[in-house]
């Protein structure tokens, strides 16, 4: 019987495997950044090579230069947009969680209220926003109401789904120890529904940015949405792109912060569960 010595091949295989793994890890970590850099470089090259008019499509370098030169203007309008986003989002979260708690506590309330919410959600917000402007007037209040109206529905739907997905066996356990409705809600339904709630909150972050822009498009004298429109009307496309990029950054940071809060709360819940199990 002939044996094959593979001792010399193993180091090579391990080196190849480690090399492939390092390349894959590099791509996983920086792949999206490299793709973005490539697209920006291609954009810069294409605009200059084909001599595209700058009022149609400016180069990324021109947009960056404008953002540096008009930083104070962008900051002022971004502050107005962020204020309306945060305020409207907070109002939507508070109202959605309160309504969801009410509906899960009283099933009749869900039967009465939920069809109304579904009907309102099916109406395009661009159709509701002008009415809000008529009722409230152009200004900060109208932007907050539009943001809250758009961000409200996904939070309610995901929260109610989480409340209803509680394991039946766990509910029977709580009933067997004569737990009241308050204990069932805060010790069972709410912790179980947290992943669903945060899923709705993450979706609502992007919708909140959309709501602020819709309100600023219709009637506003400040905000990044207003800056996008004013730039397009004045054929200052670089300014419009600078405002759009600022909006993208705000939405991304908002989404990332919500994901960070979720991860922190999940870590605390896991550590608390571990300590309980040890005791």
> How would you write 171-238 as a 3-class SS string?
HHHHHHCCCCHHHHHHHHHHHHHHHHHHHHHHHHHHHHHHHHHHHHHHCCCCCHHHHHHHHHHCCCHH
**Are 187 and 255 contained in the same domain?**
yes
Confirm whether 154 is domain-assigned.
yes
Higher per-residue pLDDT: 275 or 72: 72
pLDDT at 43: 95
Residues 41 and 133 in one domain: no
Question: Same domain, yes or no, for 79 and 207?
Answer: yes
> Do both 134 and 95 map to the same domain?
yes
Q: What is the pLDDT of residue 268?
A: 60
Are 254 and 171 in a shared domain?
A: yes
Task: Let me know if residue 125 belongs to a domain.
Answer: yes
Asked if residue 192 and residue 259 are part of one domain, the reply reads yes
The residue range of the domain holding 163 is 60-266
Indicate if 18 and 114 belong to the same structural domain: no
Query: Tokens 């409340």, residue?
Result: 163
Task: Return the pLDDT at 279.
Answer: 41
Pair 164, 47 in one domain? no
Residues 245-259 have pLDDT tens digits of 999 999 999 999 998
In a domain, 4, yes or no: no
Angle between helices 190-218 and 224-233 (to 10 degrees): 30
Whether the Cβ atoms of residue 227 and residue 74 lie closer than 8 Å to each other:
yes
Q: Do 27 and 162 have their domain in common?
A: no
Q: What is the pLDDT of residue 19?
A: 62
| pLDDT at site 262 | 85
Of 14-23, 122-131, 174-183, 267-276, the one with minimum mean pLDDT is 267-276
Q: Are residues 219 and 235 in the same domain?
A: yes
Does 239 map to a domain?
yes
Q: How many domains, the chain?
A: 2
Same domain, 38 and 114: no
Say which CATH number the domain at 89 has. Answer: 1.10.3720.10
pLDDT reported for residue 222: 86
At 31-69, the pLDDT tens digits run: 788 899 999 999 999 999 999 998 899 999 999 999 999
State the pLDDT confidence band at 273, using cuts at 50, 70 and 90: very low
Task: Indicate whether 278 belongs to any domain.
Answer: no
176 occurs within a structural domain: yes
Residue 92 covered by a domain? yes
As a whole-number percent, the residues of the chain with pLDDT over 90 amount to 41
Instruction: Tell the residue number behind the tokens 């973005």, with chain if given.
Output: 36
| Whether pTM exceeds 0.85 | no
Q: Per-residue pLDDT tens for 172-223?
A: 777 777 677 787 788 888 888 888 999 999 999 989 999 888 888 887 778 9
Rg (CA), the chain: 26
If asked whether residues 26 and 72 sit together in one domain, one would say: no
Tokens for 22, please give them.
């390092």
Is residue 83, in this structure, part of any structural domain at all?
Answer: yes
Q: What pLDDT, in 10s, does the model give residues 64-104?
A: 999 999 999 999 999 999 999 999 999 999 999 999 999 99
């Amino acid at each position: 019987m002939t044996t094959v010595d593979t001792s010399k091949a193993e180091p090579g295989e391990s080196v190849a495997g480690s090399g492939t793994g390092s390349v894959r890890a590099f791509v996983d970590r920086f792949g999206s950044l490299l793709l973005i850099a490539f697209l920006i470089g291609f954009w810069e090259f294409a605009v200059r090579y084909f001599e595209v008019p700058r009022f149609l499509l400016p180069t990324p370098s021109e947009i960056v230069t404008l953002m540096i030169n008009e930083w104070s203007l962008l900051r002022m309008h971004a502050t107005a947009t962020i204020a309306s986003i945060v305020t409207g989002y907070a109002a939507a979260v508070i109202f959605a969680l309160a309504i969801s708690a009410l509906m899960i506590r009283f099933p009749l309330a869900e039967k009465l209220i939920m069809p109304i919410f579904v009907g309102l959600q099916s109406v395009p917000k661009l159709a509701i926003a002008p009415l809000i402007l008529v009722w409230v007037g152009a200004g900060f209040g109208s932007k907050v109401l539009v943001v809250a109206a758009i961000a409200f529905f996904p939070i309610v739907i995901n929260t109610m789904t989480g409340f209803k997905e509680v394991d039946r066996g766990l509910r029977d356990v709580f009933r067997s120890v004569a737990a009241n409705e308050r204990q069932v809600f805060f010790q069972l339904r709410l912790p179980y529904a947290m992943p669903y709630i945060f899923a709705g909150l993450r979706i609502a972050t992007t919708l909140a940015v959309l709501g602020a822009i819709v309100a600023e498009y219709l009637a506003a004298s400040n905000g990044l949405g207003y800056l996008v429109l004013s730039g397009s009307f004045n054929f200052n496309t670089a300014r419009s792109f600078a405002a759009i990029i600022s909006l993208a950054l705000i939405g991304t940071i908002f989404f990332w912060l919500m994901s960070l809060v979720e991860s922190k709360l999940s870590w605390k819940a896991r550590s608390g569960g571990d300590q309980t199990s040890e005791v």
